[in-house]
Amino acid sequence: MKKEEVPQDDANMLEGKFKVVKYALNENGEYVKVPSVGWEPENVALGQAWDVINERVEDARQQVLSGKLSPLAFHMEKNMMDEALLAKHMGLPARKVKRHLDPKEFEALDEATLLHYADALLTTVEELKRVPDAPSRAISSDQA
C-alpha cells in the first residue's frame, strides 16, 4: 500500500479522539507511518457488530417492559455481559444471577445486593430498578 492510498474513510468510529497508524510506502519505496481516520470495510464490520449488541439491548428492554424479565436483564445487556460474567463481578454463582432476572425474585432483593449490582453495572440503584422509555444502546462505562 502506498502512502497516498491509505484510506481516510471517516465514520466517526474514533470520535476524533486519535488517528490509527497504518504502515505504507513513500515515494522511495520506504515504509513510513501514516495516520488514518478509518477504512470502509472496517467501519462496516464494526458497525454490524454493534448493531447485533444494540439489538440485544433493545430486545431485553422490551422483555422487561412486557414483564417477562427483571430490569437487571436490560442493564446486563447494556454492559454487554451475560449471566456468567456478571456473576463473576458479583462473586455469585451464575444460577443466582439468572434467578434475579425473574421480576419477582428481583423485587425481593435487599438493598445491599441491589447496590452491589448497580456498582457492577456502572449505574445507580434507582436506575437499576427501571428501564428507559426509549430504545437504548449498549454503552461502556462513562463513570470515571
Positions that interact with another protein (CB under 8 A): 1, 6, 13-15, 17-25, 29-31, 33, 35, 39-42, 44-46, 48-50, 52, 80-81, 85, 88-89, 139-144
Q: What is the 3-state secondary structure (H, E, C) of the chain?
A: CEHHHCCECCCCCCCCCCCEEEEEECCCCCEEEEEECECHHHHHHHHHHHHHHHHHHHHHHHHHHCCCCCHHHHHHHHCCCCHHHHHHHHCCCHHHHHHHCCHHHHHCCCHHHHHHHHHHCCCCHHHHCCCCCCCCCCCCCCCC
Q: Nearest approach, Cβ of 141 to another protein (angstroms)?
A: 5
Closest CB to another protein among 66 and 141?
141
Q: Nearest approach, Cβ of 98 to another protein (angstroms)?
A: 17
Q: Nearest approach, Cβ of 100 to another protein (angstroms)?
A: 17
Closest CB to another protein among 33 and 68?
33
CA distances from 47 to 42, 66, 110 (A): 8, 29, 39
Closest CB to another protein among 94 and 102?
94
Q: Nearest approach, Cβ of 131 to another protein (angstroms)?
A: 20
Q: Nearest approach, Cβ of 125 to another protein (angstroms)?
A: 18
Closest CB to another protein among 6 and 114?
6
Closest CB to another protein among 20 and 102?
20
Contact call for residues 9 and 37 (beta carbons, < 8 A): yes
